[in-house]
Amino acid sequence: MLDTNENHKNKMNAEVDPVFSVENQLSDADVAHYVVDLLDDHAQHLTAVTAKRLLVARNLAVRQMVDSQAVQSGGHTLAWFGDQLERHRTVSAAIILCAILLAFYTAQQFGWNANLEDSDAFLLASDLPPEAYADKGFDTWLVSKSD
């Protein structure tokens, strides 16, 4: 009996103020979802200018992504070397030392060849024949001769 009276009271309230009664029955989530449904629907009806501007912005972003990925892949080789050097420190140090020694040896070789060329030129341009320089007793003979 009490329930029936309560129901009747609610029914009367609903007739007097339907908003009040409906709001009481609805949870926060119901209200939120109703609002979101309307907003979602409305968001699909943008002006042509706005839609175009968004499309342009999207295309720019995608292009930016492609460009940045290209730059990153170009830098990957260097990054790989850097990573390897960091990981194998001893081997890396040995390789660098070998490279330095090789460079030094090569530089020396070039220097020796240059000296050889200079000495050849000196021998050919000298007043004495080249055999004179090969003769070990020549210097002694030259000194005794001058005395």
Partner 1 sequence: MATAKELSDFLAAVERRAFKQTTYAVRDDHAALDIVQDAMMKLATKYADKPVAEFPMLFQRILQNTMRDYWRRQKVRNLWTTLLSSFGGSAEAGDERDPLETIDVEDDSDQPHAQLERSQTIQLIELAIQKLPARQREAFVLRYWEDMDVAETAKIMGCSDGSVKTHCSRAVHALALTLKKQGLDKLGISSSMAMNKGLKS
Contact footprint for partner 1 (CB under 8 A): 18-19, 22-23, 25-26, 28-36, 38-44, 46, 50-51, 53-54, 57-62, 64-66, 68-69, 72
- 10 neighbors 21 (Cβ within 8 angstroms): yes
Q: Position of tokens 């449904």?
A: 37
Which tokens go with 63?
A: 């292009």
Q: Position of tokens 């839609």?
A: 51
CB of 99 to partner 1, least distance (A): 34
Q: How far apart are CA 40 and CA 43, in angstroms?
A: 5
- When the beta carbons of 41 and 147 are compared against partner 1, the nearer one is 41
CB of 82 to partner 1, least distance (A): 18
- When the beta carbons of 11 and 88 are compared against partner 1, the nearer one is 11
Q: How far apart are CA 30 and CA 128, in angstroms?
A: 116
CB of 66 to partner 1, least distance (A): 5
